Amino acid sequence: MIFLVGRLTNMENGRLEFPFPYKPYDIQEQFMHSLYSTLEQGKVGIFESPTGTGKSLSLICGALSWLSDHEERKRQEATALLQEGEKSLSTSAAQSTSGSSSTEPDWITDFVQKKAERDLVSKLKEEELKRRKREERLEMIRNNVQLKYAIKRKSCEEDEAIKLLQHSKEEQTEPSGDQEDEEHIIAEYESDDESKSKNKFLRAEDDDDDDLNEEHVTKIYYCSRTHSQLAQFVHEVQKSPFSKDISLVTLGSRQNLCINDEVRRLGSIQRINDRCMEMQKNKHEKQHHEEGVKRKRGAAKSVCPYNKASALQQMRDGVLGSVHDIEQLLKLGRETHSCPYYATRISIPPAQLVVLPYQMVLHEATRRAAGVQLKGQVVIIDEAHNLSDTLSCIHSTELTGAQLCRARSQLTQYADRYKSRLKAKNLMYIKQILFVIEGLVRVLGGKVGQNPQSQTTQAGTEMLTINNFLFKAQIDNINLFKLQRYFEKSMISRKLCGFVEKYAGSGVTLHTQSSSNKENRRTEGLNRYLQSLQNNQSSAQVPPTDQQGSAEAEKVLSASPMMQVEGFFMALTNSNTDGRVVIHKQGTLSESSIKFLLLNPAVHFAEVLKECRAVIIAGGTMQPVSDFKQELLFAAGVGEERITEFSCGHVIPPENILPLVLCSGPSGQELDFTFKNRDSPQMMDEMGRVLSNICNVVPGGVVCFFPSYEYSRRIISQWETSGALTRLANKKKIFQEPKKANQVEQVLGEFTRCIQRCAVDSSGLTGALLFSVVGGKMSEGINFSDDLGRCVVMVGMPYPNIKSPELQEKMSYLDKHLPHSQGKSPGQALIENLCMKAVNQSIGRAIRHRGDYSSIVLCDRRYARPATLSKLPTWIKDRTGTYTTFGPAFAALRKFFLEKKQKQV
């Protein structure tokens, strides 16, 4: 035990060295030491390390070093306790044989004590056996995984071919009828007092097979905002010294991980989820039927060929045996003929590192559905500069009048069709749901049962507390907490989605029909559907051919808006002070909406902070930390003593970065992009001249950020009229940020190739110019290293719209609940912080590694204010020069790139 205490003391003091793929920078070593200490002490750490300083590798090597030491310490402690327990049992046995001189009945006390000791020893032995079994299994997987695939793949494919053949025969021979609607019927509802919730996840075909049901080991959950950022992190793990020993699982949505082409073609996330859940349910029903459980005859139900326990077991071995990103998981799933979505979820318990998107950690229902357990674990939230906004966005929800009317119509028709087969308690809850939906329609100024597109409403916006909204909608007498539990346990949203998807296009679910002919249309539509079913059983599943249709078409194609209704009901169960409801009327009931706005993100973050052993909040720019701590940590009940902070500078030498503030343009026009002045043609033309001069001296790529998409459109239109755009195009080829996310990679690829061609062929063009937007698709997570981003230009300051009712309510909430600091109200500080965080993220696109160099030009006189300069990233705030006239700034810029060119030569 003395040895253990000494080792524990050393761990608290930190490691001397960390495994690293190369000699780490000094700031990386400092980062890892601080991270190790924070994890060991179970604190909440705020870590700031600029983009390009190797933050991801520092997180990986520091955190996994701690995890390795933690597991070793647990093993040694368990061994010592086991030895002490066995020794104690032996001593007790010897004492019992020697007898006792006491006249009291000590045998009862001895029996209880011995039983407790035996139970402890048995538990320790069992845990040690499980640990050894798990480690031996992982070692076997790593050593034999490729051989295992080669042997099993062929047999798996042959087996699936036989199963599919049998399945197709069943489909042809079994008659269809009303029995097939059994899948849409809600099971008899039991409240929480009557039953325990059942596991929603994959159940093994053999109850004796415990390989798919394991206890959770100590693990690290790493989350970030986008899948591309997660993929970059996984690639860093693959390059780290831990790549051969760590068991890592990458989680994603069904849309990202599904390999069933029939399901993937459905397009929308909701339809993919509904279809997958239906196939999963059909699998269990088929399993029970094969085991001899009698079920009603009906049309054979489609079962996913990739969702089979033996194949999932095989893929899970592959997932745990080596490190994979999502693309590699999809390839592995096709090789093993198994579903990556379910395989990754059954891989969570034994995994040591789980990589997943924000929402799977920050949203309780999603966390529970994914099988993520945070108790005693470590969570690392990377790219956390917008964590507060992310939490608010995740837990806010909006419903349109069209969605409410459609949901009511669908649920009414569902209840009418199955009312004779639904239990009384289910019908009672359905009536309550309909009552609430009708109340929401009335709040928007509409009438129930009429076409929402033809109902006019008086335009306007109203902000209400949750309680006042419930009173206004006259639904304050409904227990929304019970309705929320009913939604979760009955899965009524998914039942309704399946019902609507089945009868879509048959006339059954048209919400625009009048009440007088509803019954006739329902019967007519059902008959048409049953007739078409005999000719083409899959007709209801044909996906839309035009995946790039309008947003309204996508809404119509979605199975049912009941999922959104459920989310809004859940939002209304928040505390009255933590959120607001915005009623937004826009002329017609169809376009009007109600939105729940979360004002206190700390209330949902508090559970993560409470359950986890330690939470690491990391980012390239976390400033200002004080406001971050006030709004998200102190408000969640975290004391100052549990918070640690780490911030470091950049690894690049000072001569490799030229940040400057430009207050005026070449003609002397002051650069003031305030709301009052920014639309001035003179201001726009002056900015065109500034950019033209910059492009004359900057080689390679220039990335120009505008404060919004609308202003980007207006200023580029003005440049087309004045000829400034033509002058820019004579120097650099112009690219614009695309409106659709799926076109980003294509634009970046063309932008890169253009710069590479210009570096070889210097005839005419000197590179490329990319117009982007602050907070857009290219302001975060995009790599503009080396020649791709030799200069980043910020046009104006991206202040949010102060007239937004949501933002005004947020400011008012902060002013009431947070203390004032430095003479500013928390609401005003929020406006400035949102602006500067967006600026700092865009600036971070420029420098990506130690040998990189770039210039940063901030075009607005307001950047010269000391309060604004203090909010710039640590690595440039002391290097930024302010220029009131254009000439000296242009000379500094030209000198900077001339010196870089001479060094390269």
pLDDT in tens, 885-897: 999 999 999 999 9
For residues 775-792, average pLDDT: 80
List the single range of 50-59, 165-174, 401-410, 658-667 with lowest mean pLDDT: 165-174
Which pLDDT value is given to residue 460?
A: 87
Query: Does the structure show a pLDDT above 80 at 728?
Result: yes
Which pLDDT value is given to residue 513?
A: 37
List the single range of 446-455, 618-627, 792-801 with lowest mean pLDDT: 618-627
Residues 730 and 588 in one domain: no
Residues 586 and 685 in one domain: no
Cα distances (Å, whole numbers) of residue 379 to 221, 319, 605: 5, 21, 12
Residues 583 and 661 in one domain: no
In a domain, 719, yes or no: yes
The residue range of the domain holding 489 is 397-503+560-601
Q: If pLDDT is split at 50, 70 and 90, which confidence band does 414 have?
A: confident
What percentage of the chain has pLDDT greater than the value 70? 75
**Rounded distance between C-alpha atoms, residue 483 and residue 565, angstroms:** 12
Which pLDDT value is given to residue 555?
A: 41
Which pLDDT value is given to residue 540?
A: 31
Residues 886 and 761 in one domain: yes
Residues 569 and 716 in one domain: no
In a domain, 185, yes or no: no
Higher pLDDT, 124 or 513: 124
Residues 575 and 677 in one domain: no
List the single range of 298-312, 542-556, 856-870 with lowest mean pLDDT: 542-556
For residues 134-147, average pLDDT: 58
Which pLDDT value is given to residue 63?
A: 93
List the single range of 179-183, 391-395, 671-675 with lowest mean pLDDT: 179-183
In a domain, 436, yes or no: yes
Closest C-alpha to 500, from 400, 412, 404: 412
Which pLDDT value is given to residue 648?
A: 84
439-486 pLDDT tens trace: 999 999 888 888 888 888 888 889 999 999 999 999 999 999 998 888
Query: Does the structure show a pLDDT above 80 at 615?
Result: yes
Q: If pLDDT is split at 50, 70 and 90, which confidence band does 528 have?
A: very low
Largest Cα–Cα separation, the chain: 109
Query: Does the structure show a pLDDT above 50 at 404?
Result: yes
Q: The domain that contains 781 carries what CATH number?
A: 3.40.50.300
Q: What is the DSSP letter of 821?
A: B
In a domain, 429, yes or no: yes
Q: If pLDDT is split at 50, 70 and 90, which confidence band does 164 have?
A: very low
How far does Cα 434 stand from its chain's mean position?
31
For residues 185-195, average pLDDT: 61
> Please, what is the average pLDDT of the chain?
78
Which pLDDT value is given to residue 772?
A: 92
Higher pLDDT, 400 or 193: 400
Amino acid at 37: S
Last residue of a domain, one of 568, 601, 634: 601
For residues 631-635, average pLDDT: 89
Cα distances (Å, whole numbers) of residue 787 to 848, 854, 856: 11, 9, 14
List the single range of 81-95, 168-182, 475-489, 636-650 with lowest mean pLDDT: 168-182
Q: Which residues face 582 on adjacent strands?
A: 463, 595
Query: Does the structure show a pLDDT above 90 at 609?
Result: yes
Q: If pLDDT is split at 50, 70 and 90, which confidence band does 47 have?
A: very high
Which pLDDT value is given to residue 526?
A: 39
Higher pLDDT, 19 or 546: 19
* Number of structural domains in the chain: 2
Going by their DSSP bridges, the two strands 460-465 and 579-585 should be labelled as: antiparallel
Which pLDDT value is given to residue 279?
A: 79
Residues 597 and 738 in one domain: no
Sole residue written with tokens 């269809």? 176
Which pLDDT value is given to residue 88?
A: 65
In a domain, 306, yes or no: no
**Rounded distance between C-alpha atoms, residue 179 and residue 296, angstroms:** 7
Residues 595 and 447 in one domain: yes
For residues 220-246, average pLDDT: 89
Residues 769 and 882 in one domain: yes
CB 619 within 8 A of CB 48: yes
In a domain, 651, yes or no: no
Closest C-alpha to 774, from 789, 750, 805, 795: 795
Residues 792 and 888 in one domain: yes
Residues 404 and 493 in one domain: yes
Cα distances (Å, whole numbers) of residue 120 to 85, 126, 777: 7, 10, 56
Residues 856 and 791 in one domain: yes
Which pLDDT value is given to residue 446?
A: 86
Query: Does the structure show a pLDDT above 50 at 547?
Result: no
Q: The domain that contains 446 carries what CATH number?
A: 1.10.275
Query: Does the structure show a pLDDT above 60 at 517?
Result: no
List the single range of 3-7, 245-249, 330-334, 589-593 with lowest mean pLDDT: 3-7
Closest C-alpha to 584, from 678, 739, 737, 443: 443
In a domain, 265, yes or no: no
Whole-prediction pTM? 0.79
Sheet containing strand 732-736, strands side by side: 732-736, 767-773, 700-706, 791-795, 854-859, 657-662, 881-883
In a domain, 211, yes or no: no
What percentage of the chain has pLDDT greater than the value 90? 29
Higher pLDDT, 585 or 764: 585
Q: 760-768 long-range CB contacts below 8 Å, 24 or more apart?
A: 764/730, 765/731, 765/732, 765/733, 766/695, 766/698, 766/699, 766/700, 766/731, 766/732, 767/698, 767/699, 767/700, 767/701, 767/702, 767/732, 767/733, 768/700, 768/701, 768/702, 768/732, 768/733, 768/734, 768/735
For residues 364-393, average pLDDT: 89
Query: Does the structure show a pLDDT above 70 at 4?
Result: no
**Rounded distance between C-alpha atoms, residue 3 and residue 79, angstroms:** 12
